[in-house]
Structure 1
Amino acid sequence: MKHFILFFSTILFFLGCSKESYTTFSNMPDTKLVKSDFQKLPNWDDEEYSNALNSFIESCKTSKTKEIYGDLCVKAAAAADAKEFLTTYFIPYKISSADASQDGLLTGYYEPELKGSLTKKEPYIYPIYKTPKDLVVVDLTQQYPELKGYRLRGKLQGNKLVPYHDRENANANTLDAEVLCYTDSKIDLFFLEVQGSGRVTFENGETIFIGYDNQNGYPYSSIGRYLADIGAIPLQEVSLQSIKRWLEENPSKIDEVLNYNKSMVFFRQKEQSATGSLGVTLTPKRSIAVDRKYIPLGTMLYLSAKTDEVDFNHIVMAQDTGGAIKGSVRADIFLGYGEEAKERAGKLKAPLKLWILLPKEESL
C-alpha cells in the first residue's frame, strides 16, 4: 500500500457553492478525492457485507489488488465479521473529476452469446480474429512514465511504424491473423467487441469462451452518438436495443455506421466465462470496468446510481476496462449472462456517484 502516498491533503476546491479539501494519491494524480465515511454512503446499512467481502477476497488473488491492499488481503480471508472488517480497516473517498464534478455515468455490460462455426460457410461468414501477427504494440512507460497505461499500436512499413488497419480497411483486406471461428451476424460481432468477451455456440452444441486479447490502436467512437448526430435515433433513446433495431431495418447502412468506430478488437479463446482485464472471473453486479488512468485496477469501490427500475448502492471491484469508459466518475457494471442481462445492460444509463475504499493509514 506504499503506492498510495498522499500528495496533498489540504488543497481546496469548490463543489457547487461549498468549499472542501481534496486528497490526491501518487498513483491517482488526476483524480480528486474527498474524504468521507461509511454512514454517508447511500444505503450502506443495506449492503450484503459478506458478499462484498467475498468479491474483495477474490480480487486479492491478483497481484494488483495485493499491491494496493497488502496485508488486508490476508486479514480479509480470516475476517469473522465482514461489516466490522470493512469499517475498521478502510476509509471511503468520494471521487471527483478533474473539474471537481462529482456526477458521472453508469452503464452496463454483459456476456453475449453468438452462434458460430469453425469453418466459413453460410450463414457463418464473419470472422472473429485472433491478434494479427503483424500488429506491433509499443509500451512507452519506461521512456515516458506519464504515459503509463498507454500503448502505441501499429505495423511496420519498412523501418517505420505506421497506423494499423482501421475497421473499414481491416474488413476490406485480408488481415495477417488466424480466425478463431466465424459467426452469422456482423452486428452481433460488433457488440461482442464492445462487451469484450462472450460465448460462441456451434451447431453441435459445443460452446467456447472468448475474450479480449488486443485491439488495433484506434480510440473507441460511439455509434450510438453517431446515429443520434445524424438524426437516426433521438439521443435519449439510444441503447443497444435501439441501435441493433435501426441497423437491422437499414441493412444498406450497416457498414457505414459500424465503420464509424475505427477501433477493432481481437480475441483469444479462454478456459472460463467472462474474465476482466484484472484476470479474474467477473461477478454480476460486483465487477465494474473503469478508466485505469483515474482508478487503478484491483481497487474496491462503492457506487450509487438510480434508475427507474432498480437502484445500485453497493461495493464493487475495479476488475475490467473498456474503450468507451473514460473519466474518473465513470463505470460500466457487469450484469452477467443471458437475455435478461442483455436487456438490462443495453438500457442502463444512470447518473453515478463513486467512492474508492482505501486502507486507513494505521492499516498500512
Structure 2
Amino acid sequence: MRLKERQSLCHSLGGFFGSGSFGFSDFSSPLSRPENIVHQTIASKINNANNASNKIKPMPHLLGSWILGSFCIVGALLLTACSSPEKTPMPQVPASPPAATVLESAPAVLMKPKSRWMLASWTDLPGFNADNFNEAWVAWRQNCARNLPNTQRLCADVKRLDGQPSELQKNWVMESFQPYRVEHLNAVAAPANGLLTAYYEPVFEASRAPRPGFEVPLYGVPANLKARSPWYSREEISKLPAAQAALKGKEIAFIASPVDAMVLHIQGSGRLWLTQRDGSRIQIRLAFAGTNEHPYQSIGRWLLDQNLTKDATWPGIKAWLAQNPHRTHELMARNPRFIFFKEEALLGAEALLGPKGAMGIPLTPGRSIAVDPGSIPYGSAVWLSSSGPQTPLNRLVFAQDTGSVILGAVRADYFVGSGDAAGELAGRLKQDMNAWVLLPR
C-alpha cells in the first residue's frame, strides 16, 4: 500500500476505532429474527441474495464480543503503524449546523424505475443528530474508490474531512446534500414501510486436501460453465458423471459439513481457516465467482412448509439435521442453486473489511447495504431508519451491493460483518425500515 493511501486509511480507522462504539452502538438490545439469511455478494453483475421465514425467537447479546474480536486487535496494530497525515486544505464547512431547510430549487418528486423520491427536510430523518459520522466515513472512503457520477463530485471534500470531528462531518453533509424519502411507486396502495434484513460473511475451518472430517468440496468455476445455461443443478452436480468430471481439479478447499457449504453458497462469500497440505494454517477469503444460474430456493422455507420444524434459523436447521441425518442430501437438494468461488488473500487492512459487493468495493460492517439498484443507485448515501421491536437503527449507510431477492422500492439488506456473532444477528434481523437518499446539491 502506498504511503498516501496508508495515511488516508489511518484517518478512517482512527475515527472508526476511536469513537468507542465501533459502528454498532445501536445494537445494545437482544435481537430476534426468523430464519436463515440468504444473501449473495457479487463482483461484477447483479446476482442473488435473499432471506426468509417467520418464526421469531429471542437471542442473547452477541455484538460486543464479535466487534472487539473482529476490529480492536487488528485496528490497534494498524493505528500504531500509521504515520502523521499530510495537511490538506479543509472544505468550507459551517461551524454550526446549517438550518434544516429544504433547498428551494429542489424538485418535489424524483421518479426512478422502481421508486419515487419525495423531497424531505433534515428534521424528517430519525436520529440524524445522534449518529457517529466518523464511523460512516470508512465506508464513504470506499465509496469514493469507484468513479460513479453520483459519488465523485464531492469526494475531494470527503477525503479532506476524513478523521475530522463527527459534528463537522455532519454539518458538511447537511450543507452539501438534500434528503429525499424513498417511497413505493404506488405509495397509496403499498405499505409505507419497507423491509430490512441482514447478511454476513461466515467463517469456517477447512482443509486444502480432503481428510476425515473435511470431505465437502468448495469449487472454483468449471471451464464449461457458459456452455450450458442453466448449468447442472445441485442434485445433478452430486450425481451426474459429466458434472463431476467438469469440476475435477477445481476444488479450492474441503469443509466439514454440507450445511456449512450451503451457508457459504447462500451468503456468496466467506472466510476459511485453512489447514494447508504441509500442516500450516492461513486464513483466506472465498469470493463469489459464478453460479449455475438456477433460482434460489430456501431450505428453511421448505422445512416450515412441510411442518418438519418450527425453527427455520440456521441453528434450528442444524438441529433438525442432527435428528434426521439420513435426510441431509434431500434437504440440500431443495435449493438447486450452486455457487462457485475464487480464492483471495486476506492481507493487511483489507482483512478488516468485508467481501466486495456488486459495486466492486469492500463492504464495511454496519455501513454497507444491498439494495435494488432500480430504486437506489449504487454509491448512494442513504439514511436508514428501522424501528424493530428490540433494535432501533438510525444511521448513515451506503448502497454498495445487491441481491436477486433484494427487490423493491424500500428494501435493504444490511451487512453486519464476519463470524458467528454476525451470523446470529443476520439470521434473525427482519423488521420494517424507511430510507432517505441523500442527493448531492
TM-score (norm 1): 0.79
Q: Say whether the 8 Å CA contact 2:199–2:413 is kept in structure 1.
A: yes
Q: Say whether the 8 Å CA contact 1:294–1:327 is kept in structure 2.
A: yes
CA distance in 1: counterparts of 2:216 and 2:184, whole angstroms? 40
CA distance in 2: counterparts of 1:295 and 1:230, whole angstroms? 36
2:131 matched to 1:47? yes
How far off is 1:279 after superposition? Answer: 2.6
**Aligned with residue 91 of structure 1, among 155, 158, 178:** 178
CA distance in 2: counterparts of 1:82 and 1:89, whole angstroms? 11
The alignment covers a number of residue pairs equal to 312
Q: Say whether the 8 Å CA contact 2:143–2:151 is kept in structure 1.
A: no
**Aligned with residue 176 of structure 1, among 242, 246, 251:** 246
Give deviations 1:43-81, integer Å, cap 9, x for gaps.
111111222234212211112xx3222321112212362
Q: Say whether the 8 Å CA contact 1:290–1:321 is kept in structure 2.
A: yes
Q: Say whether the 8 Å CA contact 1:241–1:346 is kept in structure 2.
A: no
CA distance in 2: counterparts of 1:95 and 1:259, whole angstroms? 38
Letter in 2 for 1:301: V
CA distance in 1: counterparts of 2:340 and 2:259, whole angstroms? 16
CA distance in 2: counterparts of 1:163 and 1:206, whole angstroms? 34
Give deviations 1:127-154, integer Å, cap 9, x for gaps.
1111121112xxxxxxxxxxxxxxxxxx
**Aligned with residue 206 of structure 1, among 276, 282, 286:** 282
Q: How does 1:264-279 map to 2 (within 5 A)?
A: 264-272=338-346, 273=351, 274-277=354-357, 278-279=359-360
CA distance in 1: counterparts of 2:197 and 2:171, whole angstroms? 31
CA 1:57 to 1:309, structure 2 compared with 1: closer, same or farther past 3 Å?
same
Instruction: State the secondary structure of the residue aligned to 1:176.
Output: helix
Q: Which has the higher helix share?
A: 2
**Aligned with residue 228 of structure 1, among 299, 304, 310:** 304
How far off is 1:243 after superposition? Answer: 2.6
Letter in 2 for 1:172: K
Instruction: State the secondary structure of the residue aligned to 1:326.
Output: coil
Instruction: State the secondary structure of the residue aligned to 1:115.
Output: strand
Give deviations 1:189-230, integer Å, cap 9, x for gaps.
101111222111124432211111111112222222222222
Q: Say whether the 8 Å CA contact 1:76–1:85 is kept in structure 2.
A: no
Q: Say whether the 8 Å CA contact 1:50–1:83 is kept in structure 2.
A: no
Give deviations 1:82-119, integer Å, cap 9, x for gaps.
11111111122222234423322211222211121111
Q: Say whether the 8 Å CA contact 1:95–1:356 is kept in structure 2.
A: yes
Letter in 2 for 1:214: G
Q: Which residue of 1 aligns with 2:330?
A: 256
**Aligned with residue 424 of structure 2, among 333, 343, 361:** 343
How far off is 1:175 after superposition? Answer: 5.3
Instruction: State the secondary structure of the residue aligned to 1:333.
Output: strand
Letter in 2 for 1:193: H
> Does 239-248 or 178-187 show the bigger shift?
239-248
Q: Which residue of 1 aligns with 2:398?
A: 317
% identity of equivalent residues: 31
Instruction: State the secondary structure of the residue aligned to 1:335.
Output: strand
Cα root mean square deviation, aligned:
2.1
Query: Moved runs in structure 1, 4+ residues, more than 3 A?
Result: none
Instruction: State the secondary structure of the residue aligned to 2:246.
Output: coil
Instruction: State the secondary structure of the residue aligned to 2:211.
Output: coil
2:201 matched to 1:127? no
CA 1:171 to 1:35, structure 2 compared with 1: closer, same or farther past 3 Å?
farther
Q: Which has the higher strand share?
A: 1
CA 1:111 to 1:71, structure 2 compared with 1: closer, same or farther past 3 Å?
same
How far off is 1:186 after superposition? Answer: 0.4
Q: Which runs of 5+ in 1 are unaligned?
A: 1-8, 11-20, 137-154, 157-161
CA distance in 2: counterparts of 1:347 and 1:93, whole angstroms? 29
TM-score (norm 2): 0.66
CA 1:214 to 1:195, structure 2 compared with 1: closer, same or farther past 3 Å?
same
CA distance in 2: counterparts of 1:35 and 1:252, whole angstroms? 57
